[in-house]
């Protein structure tokens, strides 16, 4: 007999050699029916895996989040892969992982397929699912596993196995009805009867191992959910997200563009740059009010500084290096922090000078794989609203609480009140001793709890120099965006020789709290464009008002209206073209102009304007004086309204 412990602390006695199926059945028939996998000491395993005396076991059901992930995994590794091989026998399978909300499989096809072929692949998948085939797992030695896949002409699978450092226990899953096999880390569903609802969504190109020197594969994407209701809700969100795509809206609103000669870099147009600068102005006012001093540090610094800081060792693969004719090697900064330490080091600092707040809207460059680039959301060159607080260890809690309040106040100003906080602790690649990390993590946990914030653990995702809090915003259609961060760093000041004179006359290293609120200003612009579906708040809109004249007789008055608005600080443009007013309204609505002032002969005679709001059909008639007063007030930022 063996004894296993359940999540509620109860003990279950089972026969020796029992597995997850036996445990689920011993608990009850309902659980046995819905069980699909298990965790043993918090590690996911297949139900067929044997249990040992003393195991801590939890059954995973198909209705849980973990169960949904396993269902998606089985769907791609067993069903999609099997369907592709049935329809395209000469194809070669590469890898098929799960991703957020779905899955994909990379395949080498003898002849290219298109999105038109997804329907037939989906139909074959549904046929396979109807078999409700059982899925069984076997463990294989390295040579045995390689031979199996080479015999099937699956060279990518054989390559994965050959390059693995392990020599045994390669898991191969087989559908008993068809004999289809695939290499996978698992766990998988015990049978295809547990598959929910799915849909193949699109295809794209992908290089084997992400290396452009390798062959281009076809990546088939899909999504899967527990039931039809969840699938329909997700597909509706996808449609809404497509309507809100900041890249399309960016073109329509003439905000920015991207081009191949500058991968991951943004070409801001006048209107987009106006929006960008309004965000900077807003943040600058917020920071100034909180006591930050703005600095500016070089974009290119000698590599020796990045060696000392640890960036080249731990972050070097994401950095751009350049060598000058005199053989000096420089790095384009991926972060502002080493530069801020240099500013701190100028002159002797006393404990009385702390906390010291240094802020910078610094342009940074980080290499991202080309396949990861996505409009403004994932770029290689971006502006951080970066700041560093130099303080004593005793000041960590108070300063972190201040920053959490500041960041949440800022998000509220933009309409984001649903914010999730994640606590990310030490990563595998890091600098500093475990003792320093223990102190850093403890200090940050005390701070987040002192701020009264609930948080989720995000294990191993801290920065290489310190633990961090991540602030995740939820937008208008329920998508999550990680933006602001707070990081407690006891490593960098010591590595770069930053000290202050303490009250006892001794020199000590300050604590460095890294802080970004928007994060990337470029990315925050993209988030706002999608959150508001292009209908930006009036104060943030690049062009707030267009004055559209009905006839040439009104052009002179239209110019007067524009001049009045501009002189009052309202961003206004004039449209005097000889076009129908309905055409003008429609055209400016596409570019998301918040307000159109329609003026004709009557308005000119009476010094009035007809006000038409974006999305509205009715027009309000206002005197010019009233309109100017109204739009000056609407043009105030949330910060200006508060003051």
Instruction: Give the β-pairing of 500-501 and 419-424.
Output: unpaired
Q: Tokens representing 31?
A: 């659980």
E strand map for 569-614: 572-575, 595-599, 608-613
Q: Tokens representing 615?
A: 């999305």
CB 168 within 8 A of CB 118: no
Tokens 């990546």 sit on residue = 219
Longest dimension (CA), the chain: 98
Q: Tokens representing 218?
A: 């076809």
CA terminus-to-terminus distance, the chain: 72
Q: Rounded to 5 degrees, what angle do the CA atoms 241, 244, 250 make?
A: 140
Distance CA 571, CA 588 (A): 15
Residue 547: in which H helix or E strand, if any?
Answer: strand 545-549
Instruction: Give the β-pairing of 456-457 and 419-424.
Output: parallel
Tokens 């500016």 sit on residue = 296
Can you name the residues that pair with 384 across neighbouring β-strands? 362, 520
Q: How far is CA 519 from CA 347, 479, 489, in A?
A: 30, 17, 18
Distance CA 132, CA 74 (A): 13
Identify the three-state secondary structure at position 18. Answer: coil
Tokens 């269902």 sit on residue = 71
Distance CA 120, CA 117 (A): 6
Distance CA 215, CA 156 (A): 11
Q: How far is CA 642 from CA 403, 495, 636, in A?
A: 19, 42, 10
Residue 571: in which H helix or E strand, if any?
Answer: none
Catalytic residues, by residue number, are 337, 366, 384, 386, 388, 468, 514
CB 465 within 8 A of CB 430: yes
Distance CA 638, CA 134 (A): 59
E strand map for 600-639: 608-613, 620-623
Instruction: Give the β-pairing of 293-294 and 356-365.
Output: parallel
CB 319 within 8 A of CB 311: yes
Q: How far is CA 384 from CA 51, 175, 362, 483, in A?
A: 50, 50, 5, 11
CB 176 within 8 A of CB 135: yes
């Amino acid at each position: 007999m063996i004894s296993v412990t359940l999540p509620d602390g109860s003990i279950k006695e089972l026969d020796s050699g029992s597995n997850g199926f036996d445990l689920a059945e011993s608990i009850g028939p309902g659980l046995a029916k819905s069980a699909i996998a298990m965790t043993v000491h918090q590690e996911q395993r297949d139900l067929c895996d044997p249990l040992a005396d003393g195991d801590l076991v939890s059954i995973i059901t198909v209705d849980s989040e973990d169960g949904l992930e396993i269902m998606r995994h089985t769907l791609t590794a067993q069903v999609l892969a099997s369907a592709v091989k049935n329809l395209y026998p000469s194809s070669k399978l590469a890898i098929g992982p799960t991703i957020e909300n779905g899955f994909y499989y990379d395949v080498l096809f003898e002849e290219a397929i298109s999105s038109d072929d997804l329907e037939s692949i989906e139909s074959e998948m549904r046929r396979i699912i109807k078999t409700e085939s059982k899925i069984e797992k076997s463990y294989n030695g390295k040579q045995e596993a390689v031979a199996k896949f080479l015999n099937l002409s699956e060279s990518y699978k054989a390559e994965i196995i050959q390059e693995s450092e392990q020599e045994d226990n390669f898991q191969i899953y087989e559908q008993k009805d068809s004999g289809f096999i695939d290499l996978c880390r698992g766990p998988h569903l015990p049978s295809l009867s547990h598959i929910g609802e799915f849909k193949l969504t699109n295809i794209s190109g992908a290089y084997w191992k992400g290396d452009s020197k390798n062959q281009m594969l076809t990546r088939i994407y899909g999504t899967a959910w527990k039931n039809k209701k969840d699938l329909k809700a997700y597909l509706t969100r996808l449609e809404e997200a497509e309507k809100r795509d900041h890249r399309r809206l960016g073109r329509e609103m003439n905000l920015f563009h991207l081009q191949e000669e500058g991968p991951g870099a943004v070409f801001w147009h006048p209107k987009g740059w106006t929006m960008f600068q309004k965000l900077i102005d807003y943040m600058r006012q917020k920071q100034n009010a909180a006591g930050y001093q703005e600095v500016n540090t070089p974009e290119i610094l000698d590599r020796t500084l990045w060696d000392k800081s640890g960036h080249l060792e731990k972050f070097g693969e994401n950095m751009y290096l350049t060598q000058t004719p005199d053989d000096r090697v420089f790095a384009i900064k991926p972060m502002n922090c080493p530069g801020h330490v240099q500013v701190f080091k100028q002159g002797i600092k006393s404990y009385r000078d702390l906390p010291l707040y240094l802020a910078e809207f610094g342009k940074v460059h980080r290499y991202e794989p080309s396949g990861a680039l996505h409009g403004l959301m994932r770029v290689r060159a971006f502006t951080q609203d970066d700041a560093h607080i130099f303080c004593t260890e005793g000041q960590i809690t108070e300063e972190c609480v201040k920053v959490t309040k500041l960041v949440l106040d800022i998000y509220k100003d933009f309409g984001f009140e649903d914010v999730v906080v994640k606590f990310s602790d030490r990563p595998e690649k890091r600098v500093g001793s475990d003792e320093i990390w223990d102190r850093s993590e403890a200090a940050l946990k005390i701070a987040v709890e002192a701020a009264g914030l609930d948080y989720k653990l995000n294990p191993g995702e801290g920065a290489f120099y310190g633990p961090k809090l991540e602030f995740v915003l939820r937008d208008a259609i329920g998508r999550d965006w990680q933006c602001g961060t707070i990081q407690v760093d006891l490593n960098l000041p010591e590595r770069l020789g930053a000290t202050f004179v303490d009250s006892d006359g001794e020199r000590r290293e300050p604590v460095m709290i890294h802080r970004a609120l928007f994060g990337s200003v470029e990315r925050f612009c993209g988030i706002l464009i999608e959150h508001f579906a292009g209908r930006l708040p009036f104060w943030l809109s690049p062009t707030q008002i267009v004055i559209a004249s009905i006839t040439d007789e009104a052009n002179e008055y239209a110019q007067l209206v524009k001049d009045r608005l501009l002189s009052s600080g309202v961003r206004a443009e004039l449209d005097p073209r000889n076009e129908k007013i309905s055409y003008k309204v429609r055209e400016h609505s596409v570019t998301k102009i918040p307000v159109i002032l329609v003026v004709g002969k009557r308005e000119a005679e009476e010094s009035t304007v007809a006000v038409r709001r974006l999305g509205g059909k009715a027009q309000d008639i206002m005197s010019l004086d009233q309109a100017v007063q109204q739009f000056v007030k609407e043009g105030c930022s949330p910060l200006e309204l508060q003051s």
